[in-house]
Copies of this chain bind each other. A is one copy, B any other.
Amino acid sequence: MKKREVPASVKDERLVKKRRNQMIKGAITLFKQKGFHQTTTREIARASGFSIGTLYEYIRKKEDVLYLVCDRIYDEVRDRMEQAIDTRQGDLNSLKLAIAYYFKVVDELQDEVLVMYQEAKSLGKDSLPYVLNKELQMVAMFENILKRCVGNGVFHLNEREIQLFAHNIFVLGQMWGFRRWALKKLYTLEEYIEIQTKLLLEGIMKRT
């Protein structure tokens, strides 16, 4: 006679969405400040604008909040990317623009990206692969652009080089987020984009 087994499906969908959004927004604020582990469920409830009891009407475990947060952040990043990046063009310029735009997104969502990076590991065995897969999807966006470029003869890379290069772009973008303690002292975002693009595309050899 489990009383509260599937509360969500019974409740009004609109309300559930609204409450979840409140939760995610409040939780992200807190996680940015103190991280997942240091944040208590009571704090999340308070920041969401309702009580601890109500919080548990919409989740089963504290970890569920983390999952919702990570999910949302990935969607946010991916949406912004898809909105602005053209993966079909396949010329050098659209690659440069994609890199620049991605770096800017990472910069805008610095805290969010940092949160995800530092806390994703705390996700359970089920949620983690789901989230990591979302990351691979984003790497695949760069892979696609690169493939088009190779197809158009802009440069030559084999399949495995493309994959690694896409990972590099992705990670060096994140680097702007998780190493800002060192990088912000040295570069503005624009400088970072410029130099990084140059290093990525031209390498260091044979330059005038």
Residues of A within 8 A of B (CB): 35, 37, 118, 121-122, 132, 135-136, 139, 155-157, 160-161, 163-165, 167-168, 171-172, 175, 179, 181-183, 186-187, 191-192, 195-196, 198-208
B175 touches A171 (CB 8 A): yes
Looking at chain A's contact residues, the main secondary structure is helix
How many monomers of this protein are in the complex? 2
Closest to A120 in B: B118
**A188 vs chain B, min Cβ distance (A):** 11
Closest to A37 in B: B37
B205 touches A202 (CB 8 A): yes
| Contacts A121-B35, A132-B181, A183-B167; A201 near B203 (Cβ below 8 A) | yes
Which of B165, B183, B186, B195 meets A199, CB within 8 Å? B165
B164 touches A195 (CB 8 A): yes
29 pairs, CB–CB < 8 Å, chain A vs chain B: A37-B37, A118-B121, A132-B181, A132-B182, A135-B182, A155-B205, A156-B208, A157-B207, A160-B186, A160-B191, A161-B195, A161-B199, A164-B186, A164-B199, A165-B204, A167-B179, A167-B183, A168-B175, A171-B171, A171-B175, A172-B172, A200-B203, A201-B203, A201-B205, A202-B203, A203-B203, A203-B204, A203-B205, A206-B206
**A185 vs chain B, min Cβ distance (A):** 10
Considering the complex of A and B, which 10 residue pairs feature the smallest CB-CB distances, nearest first? A203-B203, A202-B203, A37-B37, A155-B204, A171-B175, A164-B195, A156-B207, A201-B203, A201-B205, A202-B205
**A41 vs chain B, min Cβ distance (A):** 16
Closest to A182 in B: B136
**A189 vs chain B, min Cβ distance (A):** 13
**A23 vs chain B, min Cβ distance (A):** 22
